[in-house]
Structures are given as C-alpha cells and as structure tokens.
Amino acid sequence: MTVDIFMLSVLAPLTPAILWGGREIRQNSCAAEDLEKMQTHIEKTWNDAQKGTQSDDALRAESALIQNHIFHSCSKGPLFSTGSIRC
C-alpha cells in the first residue's frame, strides 16, 4: 500500500472522528474541572451556613449564584454526571 492510498483510504475517512474525539475529551475535562470547583464552592457555602458566619441575605445571594452556575454548566456542558450534581 502506498502512502497516497493509505492517506486517502484510511486517514482521510478517520480524520473527522479523531477530531471529534479530541474535542469531546477536552470539553469533558473542562466540564469536570468546572464541576469540581463548583462542588468545593458549594461545600464552603454549606459550611458557612452551618457555622452561621454569613448573614441570611448573603447566603441567599450565594445560593442564587450557585443555582445560576449549575444551570449554566448544564446548559452549555456535555451530558454526563459526576458526584451529586447531574446534568
């Protein structure tokens, strides 16, 4: 098999699948990192709420921000689940 035939018959048809796979891996990695950061933030907010270190208004604002972040992550991110947050 010559290089030309190999390129046209093997590599050319596989190129879109390879590019798609790489893009999916990057998107999933970024989404997983984002969810881990969000989980850390949620746990910190929950601990603050239990300790009473923040006012009720501050906790309501944090809760709204967390809900917005979860919605944004689920609407733009890939479909997968990790931990207790499911998209």
30-72 pLDDT tens trace: 888 988 999 999 999 999 999 998 899 999 999 999 999 989 8
Q: Within a domain: residue 85?
A: no
Query: Does residue 84 lie in a domain region?
Result: no
Q: Which long-range contacts (CB under 8 A, 24 or more apart) does 35-41 make?
A: 35/73, 35/82, 35/83, 35/85, 38/66, 38/69, 38/70, 38/73, 38/85, 39/83, 39/84, 39/85, 41/66, 41/69
User: Would 25 be classed as within a structural domain?
Assistant: yes
- pLDDT of the residue at 1: 79
- What residue numbers bound the domain in which 67 lies? 12-33+55-78
Query: Residue 43 domain-assigned?
Result: no
Q: Judge whether 60 lies within some domain.
A: yes
28 within some domain: yes
Instruction: Give the number of domains in the chain.
Output: 1
The answer to whether position 2 is within a domain reads no
